[in-house]
Amino acid sequence: MVFSATVPDYVRPMTRLAVVVGVMSVLACGTPSTKPNDAGAAAPSASASQFDFSCDHAVLAWDEGRAPTNASAACRVHVATQSGAPVSGASVRFLTEAGWFDEATTDLNGTVTAAHHVGEGAPAITTPDGGTVLPGWFVLSQRTADGGTSEPGRVDPLHQVAGPMNPRDNLVSLVAMVRGDEAFDDRNGDGRWDDGEAFEDLGEPWLDTDDNGVHDEGEPFIDVDGDGVWTAGDGKWSHDALIWKQTAVVWLGAINPLDVTSAAPPVDSVPRTVKLRCPAALPPGSLDCAAAVAESGEVPFPVEVRLVDPWLNAWSLLGPATCSVATTSHLTASLDGWLDATHLRVRVADARDPNTPPITQVPKRAYVLDELVTVNCSFGAQTITTSIPVTID
């Protein structure tokens, strides 16, 4: 797909596009395609080396029925010259995999916050691929059952999503663009590009729909030179070019009751059976003990709670969590920290004191107890609650 080089201040999606995971650029040396005027003779030029684009890591984009919400993520753009002086009044344009942007113009500090709105298209359904290169913060939000790098997936119990649901389905690529100069290594510190100085040779802005880090035929791009094909860097340093940066936002989805009861629930509601035993040292004449400890010897014993959305993306992408834990009467529990961005560890113990067993007990008490551990976590305005059955056997 080709987008016209003459684009409005925001570009809305024209089709379902797959995820972008990288920006194609190379360092090169050569002759400039255009050279800026002498210092002071023209308005300050934005520089790709001082052009920053970042967004909230995630937004709650889907309701329980998999329909889009009216939520938005805050994105921040900063535009400055090669020397770091802010560029005000710069018109920032966007290319999106899904959703849309408000118009954006930088303020006196060279900065603008633009809203990335959910809706108007959806991110493409992708095939799980362990070889995909993803933003660092996104990789940290994932952990597979085997501890490897393969991408997890699950079947949608609502049958609203074709194919396996996996985290990259909702990794939405966003590109910000502005007129400016390609970045260069200003070795002599004169604020100008000079022959022999290395520079970043940007190609035309594009969306990497197959996640392989190179532009392939059919992938959407901005046709800057109007020749109908995507153009890579031209080997020349460019002044007043279309410079661009890309980032990604995860569209999280609310959990449907069918998700919880499915074969692969996003929240950890899988029953746990914990083998407990009496302490080795019992007072003379004891027939039983009041409380038991795990066979592993861990007291309290650990229970891992997974907190992800239906696409297996971490709720912690929304920000720091405030969590609490509660249990039924025969258990005590405490939070024991996050193992990673998706797994919270809870320490659970028998509420009875193993150091004060009854001297007599007739009939002998059975130790099969069906208990419940409930974890409640708030990620900003979003609250996730999961209850884990724990059988003491």
Please choose, from the candidates 55, 77, 31, 41, the residue with its C-alpha nearest in 3D space to the C-alpha of residue 243: 77
Residue 290 has pLDDT above 80, yes or no: no
- C-alpha distance from residue 280 to each of 276, 289, 348, 381 (Å): 12, 10, 20, 48
**Token couple for 175:** 């590109």
Shared-domain flag, residues 295 and 235: no
Please tell me the pTM assigned to this model: 0.77
Average pLDDT over residues 252-270: 77
What would the pLDDT profile of 69-112 be if each residue is shown by its tens digit? 999 999 999 999 988 999 999 999 998 889 999 889 999 999 99
Shared-domain flag, residues 288 and 199: no
**Token couple for 393:** 């056997």
Residue 355 confidence (pLDDT) = 53
- pLDDT confidence of 323, banded at 50, 70, 90? very high
Shared-domain flag, residues 134 and 99: yes
Residue 56 has pLDDT above 60, yes or no: yes
What would the pLDDT profile of 366-389 be if each residue is shown by its tens digit? 556 678 889 999 988 888 888 878
Average pLDDT over residues 294-298: 53
Which of 214, 232, 254 is at the close of a domain?
A: 254
Q: Which residue has the higher pLDDT, 190 or 295?
A: 190
- pLDDT confidence of 162, banded at 50, 70, 90? confident
**Token couple for 57:** 């890591």
The answer to whether position 341 is within a domain reads yes
Shared-domain flag, residues 166 and 284: no
**Token couple for 203:** 């190609």
Residue 352 confidence (pLDDT) = 62
Judged by DSSP in three states, 259 sits in helix
Residue 2 has pLDDT above 50, yes or no: no
Residue 114 has pLDDT above 90, yes or no: yes
| Residue 223 near residue 2 (C-beta atoms within 8 A) | yes
Residue 50 confidence (pLDDT) = 93
Q: How many CA atoms lie within 13 A of 173 on its CB side?
A: 28
Shared-domain flag, residues 116 and 71: yes
Please choose, from the candidates 330, 339, 309, the residue with its C-alpha nearest in 3D space to the C-alpha of residue 373: 330
Which of 232, 254, 276 is at the close of a domain?
A: 254
Report helix, strand and coil shares of the chain as percent, to nearest 5: 5, 35, 60
Residue 43 has pLDDT above 90, yes or no: no
Distance CA 288, CA 285 (A): 9
The answer to whether position 124 is within a domain reads yes
| Residue 158 near residue 260 (C-beta atoms within 8 A) | no
Average pLDDT over residues 249-263: 87
* C-alpha angle 127-67-122 in degrees, rounded to nearest 5: 45
State the amino acid at position 383 in one-letter form.
T
**Token couple for 78:** 């900063």
Instruction: Identify the H or E element spanning 247.
Output: strand 241-253
Instruction: Identify the H or E element spanning 136.
Output: helix 136-139
Shared-domain flag, residues 20 and 75: yes
The answer to whether position 260 is within a domain reads no
Residue 267 confidence (pLDDT) = 66
CATH of the domain at 289: 2.60.40
Residue 26 confidence (pLDDT) = 32
Q: Which residue has the higher pLDDT, 276 or 37?
A: 276
Strand 382-392 and strand 272-274: the pairing is parallel
Residue 339 confidence (pLDDT) = 82
Distance CA 132, CA 129 (A): 6
Residue 194 has pLDDT above 80, yes or no: yes
Shared-domain flag, residues 226 and 310: no
Residue 142 has pLDDT above 60, yes or no: no
Identify the sign of the CA torsion 43, 44, 46, 52: negative
Residue 79 confidence (pLDDT) = 96
Identify the sign of the CA torsion 37, 41, 42, 43: positive
Which of 229, 254, 279 is at the close of a domain?
A: 254
Please give the DSSP secondary-structure letter assigned to residue 170.
G
What would the pLDDT profile of 210-231 be if each residue is shown by its tens digit? 655 678 787 788 998 899 999 9
Shared-domain flag, residues 339 and 223: no
The answer to whether position 259 is within a domain reads no
Could you identify the residue written with the tokens 């035309």? 204
Q: Using omega within 30 degrees of 0 as the cis cutoff, is the peptide bond preceding 300 cis?
A: yes
Residue 157 has pLDDT above 50, yes or no: yes
- pLDDT confidence of 303, banded at 50, 70, 90? confident
Of the given ranges (149-153, 275-279, 316-320), which has the lowest mean pLDDT? Answer: 275-279
Mean per-residue pLDDT of the chain: 74
Shared-domain flag, residues 117 and 236: yes
The answer to whether position 243 is within a domain reads yes
- pLDDT confidence of 279, banded at 50, 70, 90? low
Judged by DSSP in three states, 48 sits in helix
Q: How many domains does the chain have?
A: 2
91-96: strand order across its sheet: 58-62, 241-253, 171-180, 91-96, 104-105
Residue 100 confidence (pLDDT) = 94
Shared-domain flag, residues 249 and 292: no
Shared-domain flag, residues 204 and 270: no
Q: Which domain, by its residues, includes 359?
A: 265-392
Shared-domain flag, residues 169 and 233: yes
- pLDDT confidence of 37, banded at 50, 70, 90? very low
